[in-house]
Amino acid sequence: MNSLLLALILVASTTEQGPRTLQVPQEIAPPNVVPEGTVIPVSLMNQISSEHAEEGDGVYAQTIFPVTAGNEIVIPVGTYVQGRIVNATRPGRVSGKAEMTINFHTLILDNGVTLPIFGTLGGVGGVVERAGEAGVRGDSTRGQDVTVVGTRSITGAGIGAIAGRSARGVLTGAGVGAAAGVTEVLLTRGEDLVLSRGTVIEIVLDSPLER
């Protein structure tokens, strides 16, 4: 009787536990992640200018320095980068500077894989002033405008002195020359912003990039 009871207990215990299996986790390599804040320097492949640029125009560049993660190169030199013009503003005739906003949105790897990127602009070669997180602004022509007006005033004064041979003639000539200079400034736009082919632009990642 005792032997039968012991056998029933062993059978019940085995049934409750069920079969045991050994699970060995497979080794998975960690993803190559380029962290937020990484700077990706690129070189423009096409020239862009505020004179002709329109919203939606393509901007094309290539990386000029390898980007590494986990002691491996994840973005090699020569990787294509694609972007677009978000906004382009020409300089005004009286005041204002040319501006362009550029958004780089896609990396194209050498194996054809495309990766979305989200970033802002860092340094831009040859550009004096930045405009927001993704914009660049050209130089002002205010100094040139003053020079034009001043030159026209001096020229007019000289002509007035010859014609009138008096102080009144000098002042009249200067006034006419200044007016001509102002008119010239009002009819002439400032300098457009031009980013030539080969201009170096730094893209700063706003979010991690996983290859």
Average pLDDT score, the chain:
73
User: Which residues are CB-contacts of 134 (< 8 A; sequence separation ≥ 6)?
Assistant: 86, 101, 102, 103, 120, 121
Q: Does residue 67 sit in the same domain as residue 123?
A: yes
137: closest CA among 94, 101, 105, 104? Answer: 101
Query: Which sign does the torsion angle of CA 116, 118, 122, 126 carry?
Result: positive
Instruction: Assess whether 129 and 175 both reside in one domain.
Output: no
pTM over 0.85: no
Distance CA 68, CA 66 (A): 6
Residues 135 and 109 in one domain: yes
Best CA proximity match to 59, nearest among 74, 75, 73, 48: 48
* Residues 178 and 116 grouped into a single domain: no
Q: Is 118 in the same domain as 147?
A: no
The total number of structural domains in the chain stands at: 2
CA triplet 195, 196, 200: central angle to 5 degrees? 75
Q: Which helix (H) or strand (E) holds 43?
A: strand 39-44
Residues 6+ apart with CB under 8 A from 94: 185, 186
Residues 113 and 176 in one domain: no
Q: Is residue 5 part of a domain?
A: no
Same-domain pairing of 167 and 67: no
**pLDDT mean over 52-80:** 93
Domain that holds residue 166: 142-187
Position 5 pLDDT exceeds 70 = no
- The reply to whether 45 and 114 lie within a common domain is yes
Q: How confident is the model at residue 66 (pLDDT cuts 50, 70, 90)?
A: very high
Average pLDDT of the residues in 66-95: 87
* 125/176 same-domain check: no
How many other C-beta atoms lie within 10 A of the C-beta of residue 11? 10
* Rounded Cα distance, 48 and 198, in Å: 11
Backbone torsion region of residue 44, taken as left when φ is above 0, otherwise alpha when ψ lies between -120 and 50, otherwise beta: beta
User: 149 with 58, same domain?
Assistant: no
Decide which of 61 and 10 is more confident.
61
Which of residues 48 and 172 earns the better pLDDT score? 48
What CATH number has the domain bearing residue 202? 2.40.128.260
Q: Which one of 64-73, 101-110, 154-163, 187-196 scores highest in mean pLDDT?
A: 101-110
- Confidence bin at 140 (pLDDT 50/70/90): low
Is 19 part of any domain? no
22-36, 127-141, 144-158, range with greatest mean pLDDT? 127-141
pLDDT over threshold 60, residue 4 = no
